[in-house]
């Protein structure tokens, strides 16, 4: 099991290495559009900056298929690419987030590898590679994703929404902490979407506590990972440190996806850390009772908050907690690996 786990992690990391240029290009384009064009660029392509935003956002929407395709490529080489891209697009449409991309990439990759090992006559070997394997692997994984995982994901979304609605009258700090954790746990996936929808609905009704918490959490993961690479550079590759710079720029304008390469490469240490850091940041801000009447995220909302100093302190605490926790967990892993090698 340990060998299999290490093999899977290597495939995840390979997928991330292909995905980083996509996140960098698309994320920077979107960030620049928001910085110079304002928040109105999200709703239009009538302006130059609106078009730049559209180009960048199109790239960000391709993150899940990209993860899926190149994880499968790492496992099964070129025969895994097309089926994994297709299944990754289905996962993206279903709102499964990058976790869905990881699942489809692994499922397609190992299924294609299995089909490749089945002996066939020389007369149909080309047919097997070009038609049979892509057809079967796409159909099987796509159907499993749609019929087996689709219903549980929908039920999870409905259940989480009902649970949050039931907590509306609960302690503000607790509700804020829960929303912060939900926003961070899958970074754009179904849990994140439920928290975002709940916060948006609260904002629409004139209740800013939940919306402030939801929006505050958006930039804590990229901020935390950026700080982590500064606190201990030895734990990260040059590529990861460069990606952290992109992630913090994206985070400043309300885009969490810059954190995804870190989460895919090392989910057991990154995801718990960003969840804890985001939860603490939002819970602390909820305890202080700080709100803002805008739909701006984290850094961009600072000028509009009811207390700039305490709001900024909450952001800083969340980022530092994330950075320290992930670095401690990575250090433990590094020392354990070093001890096994010795």
Q: Is the pLDDT of residue 311 over 90?
A: yes
Please check whether residue 179 is in contact with residue 210, taking contact to mean a CB–CB distance below 8 angstroms.
yes
Give CA–CA dist 218/259, Å, rounded: 11
Most confident of 4-8, 53-57, 335-339: 53-57
Other C-beta atoms lying within 10 Å of the C-beta of residue 338? 9
Distance of CA 162 to the CA centre of its chain: 24
163 Cβ partners below 8 Å, 6+ apart? none
Over range 297-310, report the average pLDDT: 92
**281 band by pLDDT with thresholds 50, 70 and 90:** very high
Query: Does an H or E element contain 283, and which?
Result: helix 267-288
Residues listed for the chain: 342
- Phi-psi sector, 21: left (phi>0), alpha (psi -120 to 50), beta: alpha
Give CA–CA dist 265/157, Å, rounded: 26
Does the reported pTM lie above 0.75?
no
Q: Is the pLDDT of residue 169 over 60?
A: no
Which pLDDT score is estimated for 57? Answer: 85
Other C-beta atoms lying within 10 Å of the C-beta of residue 95? 19
Other C-beta atoms lying within 10 Å of the C-beta of residue 261? 30
What percent of the chain stands above pLDDT 70? 90
146 Cβ partners below 8 Å, 6+ apart? 90, 94
Annotate 181-195 with DSSP letters as a single string: HHHHHSSSSHHHHHH
Closest C-alpha among 237, 306, 317, 308 to residue 276 = 317
Where are the chain's structural domains? Answer: 169-342
pLDDT digits (tens, 9 = 90+) for 54-106: 998 888 888 889 989 999 999 999 999 999 999 999 988 887 777 788 889 99
To which residue do tokens 């179904």 refer? 190
Over range 179-208, report the average pLDDT: 79
Lowest mean pLDDT: which of 63-67, 117-121, 155-159?
155-159
Give CA–CA dist 197/160, Å, rounded: 11
Which pLDDT score is estimated for 338? Answer: 65
**322 band by pLDDT with thresholds 50, 70 and 90:** very high
């Amino acid at each position: 099991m340990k060998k299999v786990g290490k093999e899977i992690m290597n495939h995840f990391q390979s997928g991330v290495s292909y995905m980083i240029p996509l996140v960098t290009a698309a994320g920077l384009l979107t960030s620049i559009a928001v910085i110079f064009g304002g928040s109105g660029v999200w709703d239009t392509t009538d302006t130059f900056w609106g078009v730049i935003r559209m180009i960048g956002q199109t790239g960000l929407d391709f993150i899940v298929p990209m993860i899926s395709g190149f994880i499968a490529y790492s496992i099964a080489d070129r025969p895994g690419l097309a089926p994994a891209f297709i299944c990754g697009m289905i996962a993206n449409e279903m709102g499964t987030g990058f976790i869905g991309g990881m699942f489809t990439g692994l499922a397609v990759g190992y299924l294609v590898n299995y089909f490749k090992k089945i002996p066939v006559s020389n007369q149909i070997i080309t047919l097997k590679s070009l038609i049979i394997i892509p057809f079967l692997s796409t159909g099987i994984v796509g159907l499993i994703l749609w019929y087996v995982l689709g219903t549980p994901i929908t039920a999870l979304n409905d259940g989480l929404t009902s649970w949050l609605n039931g907590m509306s009258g609960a302690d503000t700090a607790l509700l804020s902490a829960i929303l912060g954790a939900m926003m961070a746990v899958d970074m754009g996936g179904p849990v994140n979407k439920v928290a975002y929808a709940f916060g948006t609905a609260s904002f629409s009704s004139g209740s800013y506590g939940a919306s402030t918490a939801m929006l505050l959490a958006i930039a804590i993961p990229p901020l935390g990972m950026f700080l982590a690479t500064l606190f201990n550079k030895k734990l990260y590759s040059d590529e990861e440190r460069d990606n952290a710079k992109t992630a913090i720029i994206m985070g400043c304008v309300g885009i969490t996806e810059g954190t995804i390469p870190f989460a895919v490469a090392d989910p057991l240490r990154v995801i718990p850390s960003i969840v804890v850091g985001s939860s603490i940041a939002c819970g602390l801000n909820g305890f202080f009772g700080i709100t803002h009447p805008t739909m701006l995220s984290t850094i961009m909302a600072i000028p509009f908050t009811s207390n700039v100093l305490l709001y900024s302190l909450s952001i800083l605490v969340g980022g530092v907690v994330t950075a320290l926790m992930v670095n401690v967990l990575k250090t433990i892993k590094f020392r354990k690996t070093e001890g096994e090698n010795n």
